[in-house]
Amino acid sequence: MPEEEMLAIMKHSMNKIAAVVVAFCSACLLSLAGWAQTSAAKPNLATADWSVKSAHNLASNSPPADAVWAFVSGPFRNGFGHVCDFRFADLRHSGNLSLVVVIDVGATAGCEGTEIFDKTSSGFEHYSTFANSTENLRDSIQDIKHDGNLELVLYGPLAPSESRRLGCDAEWPMIFAWRGGGYTEVSSQYKGYYEQHLKSLKKQIAASSSGAEEAQAPAAGQTPAPQPAMVPVPPAGSFANSSNDHSMGGGALFPAPAASSSPAAAPAPTPDSDYDCERVEAAKTEAFLGIHSDATMSDAIKASENSDPNERVRAAVILSYIGTPEAMADLKDLAADSDPVVAKLAKARLSYGQEPDEYYRQVNEEPVELNRPPIKHRTSAGS
């Protein structure tokens, strides 16, 4: 190849490489500029307009999660964590919005508890509770009575020790609302909500029960497997003289290999893992509504006589919710159960108190310490 042609090819290649490098660097600069612009545009919620009538209403124009974290992280003073979920809503009808937020503060608990930040005429107020939202706050903030007033539906645990034994987490919804001097649990004022909640639970229980029955029965379209044919095998040290000789005295019978022509059976459905807790939640809801169900009592008695200790634990919880003299007599019997764990849990249910615990029913006002710099954590000794 002539030297001039080779130089021309090399020059062309170098120009292409240079063009790629320039394009890449330009893209990087544009990206950095965009990031800087986005960071600069990130709203400062401490000075933002929280009014319901704002042209940039925060409820319909949600700020980014990092702006919310920058606003709320000051009270926790640890520099770790993130916002799990948040919603702006008109909880107080004061003309300003409230921020409801679930936070993971970097500990082992994960996204636990609920924080409320209210904008007032004099600044901000901060409230917190250990009660938890549903999977998303959109479902937790409701206008239950359709009267223009928003309530906050949060959950607390039922029978936590017993639920862990059952392999699920029983929870119960509590309703909170602003009542002038703070957020108060007002569940007793919303019986209609709990009637609907009970209907929903019963549908879930029926579906779970059907799944459990299907798991125990042959799958649809399948027939029970036939017994394998038995093939005679001669005793050790002997053999048949003829292929037609089937009279091998002293031999043994063994199953013939199964035929492989049939298709593999579809896996049977499994029962809902929350089935036991759904029945606990339904019993709690019936007790709250003052419903005395013969079906629930019958189920509890049957469970109390079950050989499975976990069933007897479930019976203890449900009997404690029923609370009638007959139910308490059966609960006392379980307190003397031969299984020490069942006996211990049943004895505790004789005087279990309120559930969810008062711990989850309180919304406490906290000091307002917004945008406070986090504590710097040491990463090694002497650093």
Per-residue pLDDT tens over the stretch 139-189: 999 999 999 999 999 999 999 999 999 999 999 999 999 999 999 999 999
107 has pLDDT over 50: yes
**What was the pLDDT predicted at 264?**
47
- For 212, half-sphere exposure in the C-beta direction (CA atoms, 13 angstrom radius) is 11
User: Residue 8, class by beta-carbon neighbours within 10 Å (0-12 exposed, 13-18 middle, 19+ buried)?
Assistant: exposed
Q: In what order do the strands lie in the sheet containing 364-366?
A: 82-89, 98-104, 114-120, 123-129, 364-366
Local confidence band at 211 (pLDDT 50, 70, 90 cut-offs) = low
Say which range, 6-10, 55-59, 207-211, 221-225, has the weakest mean pLDDT: 6-10
Q: Which of 214, 219, 225 is nearest to 266 (CA)?
A: 219
- Contact assessment for residue 163 and residue 170, using Cβ atoms and an 8 Å cutoff: yes
Say which range, 80-89, 289-298, 303-312, 313-322, has the weakest mean pLDDT: 80-89
Question: What does the pLDDT average to over 197-224?
Answer: 73
219 has pLDDT over 70: no
Local confidence band at 81 (pLDDT 50, 70, 90 cut-offs) = confident
- With tokens 């089935």, the residue in question is 275
Q: Which is higher by pLDDT, 219 or 363? A: 363
- Contact assessment for residue 232 and residue 250, using Cβ atoms and an 8 Å cutoff: no
Question: What does the pLDDT average to over 252-270?
Answer: 45
Question: What does the pLDDT average to over 53-60?
Answer: 94
Residue 318's CB: how many other CB atoms inside 10 A? 27
Say which range, 34-48, 106-120, 308-322, has the weakest mean pLDDT: 34-48
Local confidence band at 222 (pLDDT 50, 70, 90 cut-offs) = low
274 has pLDDT over 70: yes
- Cα–Cα distances (Å) from 379 to 105, 136, 376, 382, 383, in that order, read 18, 34, 9, 9, 7
Q: Which of 50, 57, 176, 175 is nearest to 125 (CA)?
A: 50
Overall residue count recorded for the chain in this entry: 383
**What was the pLDDT predicted at 191?**
97
Residue 319's CB: how many other CB atoms inside 10 A? 29
Question: What does the pLDDT average to over 198-210?
Answer: 92
Local confidence band at 33 (pLDDT 50, 70, 90 cut-offs) = very low
Q: What is the mean pLDDT of the chain?
A: 78
351 has pLDDT over 70: yes
Structure tokens at 352: 């279990």
- With tokens 């004061």, the residue in question is 94
Question: What does the pLDDT average to over 205-227?
Answer: 62
Local confidence band at 42 (pLDDT 50, 70, 90 cut-offs) = low
Q: Which contiguous run of DSSP H or E holds residue 230?
A: strand 230-233
CA 350, CA 331: separation in Å to the nearest integer?
A: 7
* Rounded percentage of the chain residues whose pLDDT exceeds 70: 66
CA 127, CA 147: separation in Å to the nearest integer?
A: 24
CA 109, CA 127: separation in Å to the nearest integer?
A: 19
Say which range, 147-161, 207-221, 308-322, has the weakest mean pLDDT: 207-221
CA 207, CA 213: separation in Å to the nearest integer?
A: 10
Q: Which is higher by pLDDT, 27 or 345? A: 345
Q: Which of 111, 107, 124 is nearest to 65 (CA)?
A: 111
Per DSSP, helices labelled H in 42-74 are 65-72
pTM beyond 0.75, yes or no = no
Ramachandran assignment for 79, one of left (phi > 0), alpha (psi -120 to 50 degrees), beta (any other): left
- Cα–Cα distances (Å) from 95 to 62, 100, 119, 120, 265, in that order, read 18, 16, 9, 9, 62
β-bridge partners, 152: 141, 176
**41-50: long-range contacts, CB 8 A cutoff, minimum separation 24:** 42/66, 42/67, 42/70, 43/67, 44/70, 44/71, 45/70, 45/71, 45/99, 46/71, 46/124, 46/370, 46/371, 50/88, 50/96, 50/97, 50/119
236 has pLDDT over 50: no
Local confidence band at 253 (pLDDT 50, 70, 90 cut-offs) = very low
Q: 27 by DSSP, 3-state: which?
A: helix
Local confidence band at 131 (pLDDT 50, 70, 90 cut-offs) = very high
**What was the pLDDT predicted at 341?**
97
**What was the pLDDT predicted at 43?**
80
Residue 16's CB: how many other CB atoms inside 10 A? 10
Q: What are phi and psi of 138, to 5 degrees?
A: -60, -35
**What was the pLDDT predicted at 75?**
59
382 has pLDDT over 70: no
